[in-house]
Chains A and B, each alone.
Chain A
Amino acid sequence: EPEVTQTPSHQVTQMGQEVILRCVPISNHLYFYWYRQILGQKVEFLVSFYNNEISEKSEIFDDQFSVERPDGSNFTLKIRSTKLEDSAMYFCASDRGLDSPLHFGNGTRLTVT
């Protein structure tokens, strides 16, 4: 069964550094998402992406964040200048469109020191 893959599984970075989290969504999916989960808290929506542009974003997704689909298969989340509070699990997801289920990757654990 096709799945969403995320790399790396764990990323450690220093505060103020840029980090790029990578995702390969399922190949025939059209909508792409990033979520995050701070340890012990709920899964929070960050952004959705369709047709090469952001379709929705949350308050969390400020100017420090950006997303890109650089080559038709990868979907990336960039955090420009990481803060300690950016430490979390980041989940990528994709789906075929409205009323089809989101499929999630197993996440990247980002640790900012």
Chain B
Amino acid sequence: DAKTTQPPSMDCAEGRAANLPCNHSTISGNEYVYWYRQIHSQGPQYIIHGLKNNETNEMASLIITEDRKSSTLILPHATLRDTAVYYCIVRLRRGNQFYFGTGTSLTVIP
């Protein structure tokens, strides 16, 4: 069901930028890309979303390629608390649901 592909795991040194890639080559023109994260078994936490333009908020930046076939979530200064599973989700226009893939397990290393 998920329309996205992410690496299963990544490491990042504390204080460095974490760059998490996502491929969504079949995305349609009016579908948004959303990023969520899940720490342990807590509820998924919204991070950021975008359509075409790059977006930035207090948590992260989202870079979407011009052809919209891929995107990168950037955590500018990773901390140990950023260790989590990160999900890239394309919101389908039929209905209103999100489909979660298996995500990227990010480990921030001291």
Binding site for B on A (CB under 8 A): 4, 31, 33, 35, 37, 39, 42-45, 48, 50, 55-56, 89, 91, 93, 95, 98-99, 101-107, 109
Interface pair B43/A45, CB less than 8 Å apart = no
Which of A4, A37, A48, A103 makes the CB contact (< 8 A) with B97?
Answer: A48
Whether B100 lies near A91 (C-beta < 8 A) is no
Per CB-CB distance, the 5 closest pairs between chain A and chain B, nearest first, are A104-B43, A56-B95, A43-B100, A101-B46, A106-B43
Q: How many CB-defined contacts (below 8 Å) exist between A and B?
A: 58
Q: When the two chains form their complex, are residues B96 and A50 in contact, meaning their CB atoms are under 8 A apart?
A: yes
Minimum CB–CB distance from A62 to chain B (whole Å) comes to 17
| Interface of B: prevailing SS | loop
Residues of B participating in the A interface, judged by any CB pair closer than 8 Å: 1, 32, 34, 38, 41-46, 49, 87, 91, 93-103
Q: Are A91 and B96 in contact (CB under 8 A)?
A: no
Checking A42, A43, A55, A102 against B46 with a beta-carbon cut-off of 8 angstroms, the contacting residue is A102
- How far apart are the CA atoms of A31 and B79 in the complex, in Å? 33
Q: Known contacts A42-B103, A56-B97, A98-B96; decide if A91 and B44 are in contact (CB<8 Å).
A: yes
